[in-house]
Amino acid sequence: MKLGMFMMPLHNPARSLTDVLAEDREAVILADSLGMAEAWCGEHISSTAEPIASSLMFFASVIAQTKTINFASGVLNLPQQHPAQTAAQVANFDHFSRGRYIMGIGPGGLISDFELLELTEEPRRREMMLEAIDTIHKIWSAGPGYDIDGKYWPVRIQDAVMPHLGIGQICKPYQEPYPKVCLSIVSPHSSSATHAAEQGWEIVSANFIQSRYIQSHWQAYLEGCGNVGRRPDPGVWRIARSILVTDDAQRAEDYIADPDGGLSFYFRYFMDLYRSRGILKMLKPDLDVADDDLLLDDVIRSMVTFGDAGSVLDQLVALCEQWGQFGTLLMVGHDWDDAPIWRRSMTLLAEDVIPRLNQHLESRSAAE
């Protein structure tokens, strides 16, 4: 199993934008130095809590400070920009990074962005996303000159084409034919996971739902593989999880219990957001608990793997038993309101916990 990092990123909006962007960069650079395989980063337009407007711009700022880590947009919100612009920008970034890019895509996820761009209808966003990625792939496969039909974005350059000057052609990516596509999955039994499998895309299961729903993502993916006769590969499945590893278990307990700490802000954010959208059940450790009785502390303790290295290892073993085989564990990058605890957590996870987890998984596999 590989280890990576997934950041929304989410910060208390009262914090300095300059500081949190610097910390997010530091987290990616640290992840690279620890040998992590991937770093994922989201993007939104209208949020000071999720302030990164372009994952490509953010990752471009750390290419020179990293060596091997792959950069993954988590995700490119395809309905929010013309696919020709996305194709050109992704191609640039793929060359800047020499192919260290994974094209995470989605229909968008922030309600204020939907209102801002008049994209409030979910079926329309999904339709636009599918058209956009199809158009992008056609752009990269064609040219110079384009004639691509589309309901939302027909792409045509027919008259202003001067091949000897390079005019009329959109840049192609470094990777051939193009970067791998990965779809972020949130909803249980997601039809998006089925569609991803049918298209030969990969999937990442988000961390802001209870662990009981995660396995349903793979079941939906298996259905899609069966629909097209594709052999399923668990290596293409990533699972994100909030993980805090400390030298002293009490240190983790104190941070988890801090009502003003970064994790409290993170899960309070989702409780308020999910309550407004009528989907609070996805955060409930116990479905019988009424919405008004759901406690923040219970949500945190059920959705964060925390403790000393031995305890975290035991918890991850249990989760692997629940979820089944998958390829990459993505630790969630949280707000560094306590930078030392998060730096140490990343180090312990990469250098102590994951090697022992892989030893356990290899032993179990050999025994089978």
pLDDT band at 248 (very low <50, low <70, confident <90, very high): very high
Cis peptide bond N-terminal to 179, omega within 30: no
**Residue 159 C-alpha from the chain's centroid:** 40
The reply to whether 283 falls in a domain is no
Q: Residue 364's pLDDT is what?
A: 87
Rounded Cα distance, 74 and 43, in Å: 7
CATH code for the domain in which residue 355 is found: 3.20.20.30
Sorted by sequence, the CB contacts under 8 Å of residue 112 that are 6+ apart come out as 46, 47
Residue 333 contacts residue 27 (beta carbons within 8 Å): yes
Tokens (6 digits) for 276: 């407004």
For residue 298, being part of any structural domain is answered with no
Residue 127 lies in a domain: no
- What is the pLDDT confidence band of residue 143, given thresholds at 50, 70 and 90? confident
Q: How many structural domains does the chain have?
A: 1
Structural domain containing residue 66: 2-74+180-273+303-367
CA distance 223 to 228: 9
**pTM (two decimals):** 0.97
Beta strands in 10-55 (DSSP E): 38-41
Nearest to 42 by CA among 71, 9, 78: 9
Q: Kindly state the percentage of the chain with pLDDT values over 90.
A: 98
Full DSSP string of 278-292: T-GGGG-SSTTS-GG
Residue 75 preceded by cis peptide, ω within 30? yes
- With respect to residue 99, please indicate whether it lies within any of the assigned structural domains: no
DSSP 338: T
- What whole-number distance in Å separates Cα of residue 249 and Cα of residue 251? 5
Domain presence at residue 125? no
Residue 43, pLDDT score? 98
Single-letter amino acid, residue 46 = S
pLDDT at 236: 98
Please give the biggest Cα pair distance in the chain. 69
Q: How confident is the model over 64-84, as a mean pLDDT?
A: 98
Following DSSP, what letter does each residue of 178-199 receive, concatenated? Answer: ---EEEEE-STT-HHHHHHHHH
Q: Which amino acid is residue 139, in one-letter code?
A: I
Residue 144 in any domain: the answer is: no
Helix 122-141 / helix 83-96 crossing angle, nearest 10 deg? 60
* 124 belongs to a structural domain: no
User: 121 lies in a domain?
Assistant: no
pLDDT at res. 227: 98
* Mean pLDDT for all residues in the chain: 97
- Extended beta strands in 181-302, E state: 181-185, 202-205, 237-245
Q: Which pLDDT score, from 0 to 100, does residue 144 have?
A: 87
pLDDT at 368 over 80: no
Q: What is the pLDDT of residues 168-194, one digit of tens each?
A: 999 999 999 999 999 999 999 999 999
